C-alpha cells in the first residue's frame, strides 16, 4: 500500500469522524464508511431482471458454479461473495444468529423453491471463496431479480443499491428494456453515476 494512499485514507477517516459529530449530517452512515475504508472493501452490486443471466455472470467472473442458477427466482436474499482462503457459506438470520452450512445446501436458503418468501427469516448469505478477483477487497453482491412475481425481491434490490460502490445492471441483448426495468431505473436515478450496463445473452 503506497504512502500517498495511506495519507489519503487517514485524512478521509478524520473527515468521517468529524462528520459523525455534526447534526446536519446525522444520517451519514459513518460507521459503515469507516469499516469499508479500514477493510479496503469495494461493494460491486449486480442487479437485473429475472432470467437476465445475473447469477451466471457472477459465476463466470469467479470461474466456478458457485451460485445456483435455478429456473425459479431467488428469494429476497442478498448473497455476498468475498475473499476467503477456502469455500465457506455462512447464513445470517434476522434474529442476529449465524449458521455455517455446507455449500451444497446454499439453494435451501437463497432460492424461492428452498426458502419460499423467506420463511426461514434469512437476512443475507455470505460466501467466502478463494478467487483472485476478490483478493483485493472486491465483494460481489448478488441481489434478487427485479420485476419478478415476488415483490419482495425487487424491494431488496432497491434497498441495497445505496450501499454499492458500483452497480452492474444486466440487460438482454435480444429484448428491449421491460417496463419493470425502466421503472426500476427511474426509481434509482439518484445513483446513476455508479450504474454500469452490461448486455448479456442469457
Same-domain check for residues 72 and 18: no
Q: What percent of the chain has pLDDT over 70?
A: 85
Tens of pLDDT along 65-77?
A: 898 876 566 667 8
Q: What is the DSSP string of 87-117?
A: -EEEEEETTS-EEEE-GGGTHHHHBTTTSGG
Query: The CATH number of the domain where 71 resides is what?
Result: 3.40.50.300
Give kind and range of the element (H or E) at residue 123: strand 122-129
Instruction: Look over the chain and give the mean of its residue pLDDT values, rounded to a whole number.
Output: 83
Same domain, 150 and 176: yes
State percent of the chain over pLDDT 90.
Answer: 32
Number of domains in the chain: 2
> What tens digit of pLDDT does each residue of 149-164 get?
455 556 777 777 888 8
Q: Does the model's pTM come out above 0.85?
A: no
Residue 25 reports pLDDT greater than 70: no
- The domain containing residue 116 runs over which residues? 41-200
Where helices occur in the chain by DSSP H, the ranges are 3-20, 30-38, 54-62, 107-110, 151-160, 179-187
pLDDT the model gives residue 70: 62
Is there a single domain that holds both residue 121 and residue 138?
yes
Cα separation, 68 vs 126, in Å, equals: 14
For residue 26, pLDDT beyond 60: no
Encode burial over 18-35: b for 16+ CB neighbours within 10 A, e otherwise. Answer: eeeeeeeeeeeebeebee
Q: Which pLDDT belongs to residue 96?
A: 95
26 Cβ partners below 8 Å, 6+ apart?
A: none
Of the two residues 45 and 49, the one the predictor is more confident about is 45
HEC assignment per residue over 169-189? EEEECCCCCCHHHHHHHHHCH
Are both 113 and 91 inside the same structural domain?
A: yes
Looking at the fold, whether 19 and 96 belong to one and the same domain comes out as no
**Same domain as 32, residue 122:** no
Q: Compare 144 and 75 and report the one with higher pLDDT.
A: 144
Residues 56 and 90 occupy one common structural domain:
yes
Give CA–CA dist 48/200, Å, rounded.
11
Q: Looking at the structure, tell me whether residues 49 and 124 fall in a common domain.
A: yes
Determine the Cα–Cα distance for residues 169 and 49; give it in Å rounded to an integer.
Answer: 9
Residues 49 and 138 grouped into a single domain: yes
Q: What pLDDT was estimated at residue 72?
A: 61
Same domain? 84 vs 27: no
Instruction: Kindly state whether residues 51 and 120 are assigned to the same domain.
Output: yes
Pick 6 or 101 by higher pLDDT.
101
* pLDDT of 54: 85
Check residue 16 and give its pLDDT: 75
Residue 171 predicted with pLDDT over 70: yes
Determine the 3-state secondary structure of 122 from DSSP.
strand
Judge if 55 and 106 occupy the same domain.
Answer: yes
Cell of 159: 434497498
Amino acid at each position: 500500500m503506497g504512502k500517498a494512499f495511506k495519507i489519503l485514507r487517514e485524512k478521509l477517516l478524520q473527515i468521517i469522524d468529524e462528520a459523525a459529530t455534526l447534526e446536519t449530517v446525522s444520517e451519514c452512515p459513518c460507521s459503515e464508511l469507516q469499516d469499508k475504508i479500514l477493510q479496503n472493501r469495494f461493494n460491486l452490486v449486480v442487479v437485473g431482471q429475472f432470467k437476465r443471466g445475473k447469477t451466471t455472470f457472477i459465476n463466470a467472473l469467479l470461474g466456478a458454479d458457485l451460485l445456483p442458477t435455478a429456473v425459479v427466482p431467488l428469494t429476497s436474499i442478498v448473497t455476498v461473495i468475498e475473499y476467503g482462503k477456502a469455500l465457506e457459506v455462512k447464513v445470517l438470520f434476522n434474529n442476529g444468529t449465524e449458521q455455517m452450512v455446507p455449500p451444497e445446501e446454499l439453494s435451501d436458503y437463497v432460492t424461492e423453491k428452498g426458502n419460499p418468501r423467506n420463511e426461514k427469516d434469512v437476512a443475507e448469505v455470505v460466501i467466502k471463496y478463494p478467487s483472485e478477483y476478490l483478493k483485493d477487497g472486491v465483494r460481489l453482491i448478488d441481489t434478487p431479480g427485479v420485476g419478478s412475481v415476488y415483490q419482495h425481491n425487487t424491494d431488496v434490490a432497491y434497498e441495497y443499491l445505496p450501499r454499492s460502490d458500483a452497480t452492474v445492471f444486466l440487460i438482454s441483448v435480444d429484448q428491449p428494456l421491460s417496463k419493470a426495468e425502466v421503472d426500476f431505473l427511474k426509481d434509482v436515478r439518484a445513483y446513476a453515476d455508479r450504474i454500469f450496463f452490461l448486455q448479456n445473452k442469457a
